[in-house]
Amino acid sequence: MTTQTRLDRRHSWRLLATLIGLSAALGACQQTTEIVTATVPTDYRLRHPIAIKEANRSIVIFVGQARGGLSAPQRTDVMGLAQTWVREGTGAIVADVPVNTANARAASATYREIRSVLAAGGVPSSAITLRQYQPDDIRTLPTIRLSYPKISAVAGPCGLWPEDLGPSLQDTGYNENRPYHNFGCATQRNLAAMIDNPADLEQPRPETPAYTPRRNIAFDKYRKGISTATTYPESEKAKLSDTGK
């Protein structure tokens, strides 16, 4: 191999290394980093949406050691639970009854009365499930808990403060006057708790039929050329006196 050949080969390797380095540099310049801004919605309805989930509704029955059965207010609570289960329940009513406790005998008698009250409220016996438990803390009074699943509207959790409210080195939205993370969460949570039928959030309820007697009276007046407006004689009594004008 001659000296000229070796020089040409070295020159070729240097040129190749230069091209590789230049390509890497150009690739680094063209590489873009995607920065996602505003990943958290500014609208509180989108940040804390109201979701439709299945949640439990429950009541607690306190049972003393020497008395078995339900008191009058407890019987009202159980009857109310039965009526709401008929309307909104999506599963069986589970009765958690304590065992091996000082009030276990009274709790057993109370559970039998609970079944009779639930049956009177329209709950079939096949929809009542007994689940015995032994409390971990012996210092507390064991209770009977009645619960069943239902479709509920929920929102939250609230009380989360992942960012500072004031000026910060991070992009917290303070300079742009964006609402803070927890803004509107309590309002959404309270609104979800007040919704009677969660299906109202997805679709309207069917219309009720028109009141036929009132409609017939209005049509009859219209055919006779009489005003169809409703008169309220008692409304005149509610007007203020003109004395002193």
pLDDT, tens only, 31-43: 444 434 445 678 8
Q: What tens digit of pLDDT does each residue of 124-162 get?
A: 999 999 999 999 887 788 999 999 999 999 998 998 888
The single residue listed with the structure tokens 């438990």 is: 133
- Residues β-bridged to residue 128: 93
Cβ atoms 95, 146 nearer than 8 A: yes
Write the DSSP symbol of residue 175.
Answer: T
Residue 97: strand pairing partners: 132
Q: Quickly name the fold that domain 55-150 has.
A: 60s Ribosomal Protein L30; Chain: A; (3.30.1330)
Residue pair 164/186 in contact (Cβ under 8 Å)? The answer is no
Tell me how far apart the alpha carbons of residues 141 and 61 are, in angstroms, rounded to a whole number: 11
- 97 and 142 Cβ atoms separated by less than 8 Å: no
**Res 234: pLDDT:** 73
pLDDT of residue 44: 87
Of the candidates 146, 232, 155, the one whose C-alpha atom is nearest the C-alpha of residue 195 is 155
What pLDDT does residue 111 have?
A: 96
The domain ranges of the chain are 55-150
- Residue 96's nearest CA partner among 122, 50, 58 is 58
pLDDT at 34: 43
Question: How does pLDDT run across 226-237, given as a tens digit for each residue?
Answer: 988 877 777 666
pLDDT for the residue 25 = 58
Mean pLDDT by 10 residues, the chain (245 residues): 59 68 57 47 88 93 90 96 94 95 93 96 95 87 94 90 75 73 92 90 87 88 88 69 63
d(CA 136, CA 193): 31
Q: What is the pTM of this model?
A: 0.61
